[in-house]
Structure 1
Amino acid sequence: MSEWISVNERLPEPGVMVLVYAPPQPGDWPESVRISFDGLDPESDGDYWVEHGEHYEHWCCIAKGGDHDWHGPSEKAPYTHWQPLPPPPQ
């Protein structure tokens, strides 16, 4: 089993899907666990995470605004750790 790697220590190779962890965010249920799949965009400079970026862009274009205090994703991905995907079953 792989160990979690801090994003402050190093980032995954661009274009490679990995597991990512983010601590609970405002509005989450208590004891929420945020583990998902994402990867760095190979065509961007820096730390643009594809899935997170798509959620953020969707929120900015569609869900944000109106008379409500919407809590959408931040522009920067909240990931603190990542790890490679395990091999698929045989």
Structure 2
Amino acid sequence: MTADTLAFDKSGNLTGHTGQGSHQSFDFRNSQGDCYQANVASQDGMLSSFNQGSGCPNHQDHAAWYTHPDGSPDSRLWFGSAAGPAN
């Protein structure tokens, strides 16, 4: 979620803004029990809060080194295949 209220004068000129803020949540879990969770928020252009692992067991992130929360493959075998990028 992001918010920012812009103020304009009668001529349509920007005179300022208020309420600038944003919040983002990240959550990853898989069938192996790996868990990563983070929340970050900003207010008035500054970091206002950050927490990590709060929704995971024992309130700690745990992900094995070989997991890919971003969905990336284990290798580049896809490169150059019919489904991969063109050379």
- TM-score between the two structures when normalised by the length of structure 2: 0.21
Structure with larger RCO (C-alpha < 8 A, sep 6+): 1
Structure index of larger Rg: 2
Greater per-residue helix proportion? 1
- TM-score between the two structures when normalised by the length of structure 1: 0.21
Greater per-residue strand proportion? 2
